[in-house]
Amino acid sequence: MYIQYTLGVLAALVFWVAGTYSSSAADTTFPLEEVADDMMHIVAQVVLKRADGMSILDAKTPLTSKNIRKYSVEHNRIEESKKRLEELGFAISSQDHVTLSIMGSAKLFTEVFGIEDPIASSTSDIHATIIPPGLRNFIADVFIPKPPEFF
C-alpha cells in the first residue's frame, strides 16, 4: 500500500512539473526579427602572427604537439592584438599561443573585417575580406567557423 501511494504521489509530481514547464514554454516566444543586431553575437577565430610574420597558416606539415611551438606568438604581441581588437569593440573570449577567439555583433564584423553576412549559414568557414591596417602586422586571418552539423 505504501509503495502504491508513493508511486502515485511521484506520478502526480511528474505530471505537475511537466505541465508547468510545457505551459510556460508554450507562452514564451522568441521572435528573431525583433532581436537587435547588436544583440546577435558572432564568435570568430583570429590567427595571430609572430614578429617575423609567420603564423600557423604557414605550416607546410600537419600541426602536432611537437611542432606547434614553432608558431607560438610572443606574449607582448598577443596582448597588443587583444588590446587593438578590444579598442575596436570586440570581446576576447579565449586565447592560446597562436589564436584568439573574439565576439562581436554582426554589424561590427561587417564594418571591421568586411564580412557581409556573418550570420548566414554556410557550408564552409567565412573569412575576413579586410584586415584593417592597424592589425595587419598582428593578424594573419579572421574567420567564422562553419556551423556544426548535427545528425
Q: What is the pLDDT of residues 86-138, one digit of tens each?
A: 999 999 999 999 999 999 999 999 999 998 877 776 778 889 999 999 999 99
Q: Which of 12-16, 50-54, 70-74 has the lowest mean pLDDT?
A: 12-16
pTM for this entry: 0.71
Q: Are 101 and 94 in contact (CB under 8 A)?
A: yes
Sheet containing 41-48: order of strands: 91-95, 99-105, 41-48, 139-144, 126-127
pLDDT at 124: 84
Report whether pLDDT(75) > 90: yes
Report whether pLDDT(25) > 50: no
pLDDT at 96: 95
What's the whole-number average pLDDT of the chain?
A: 79
Q: Express as a percent the part of the chain with pLDDT over 90.
A: 58
Q: Are 42 and 116 in contact (CB under 8 A)?
A: no
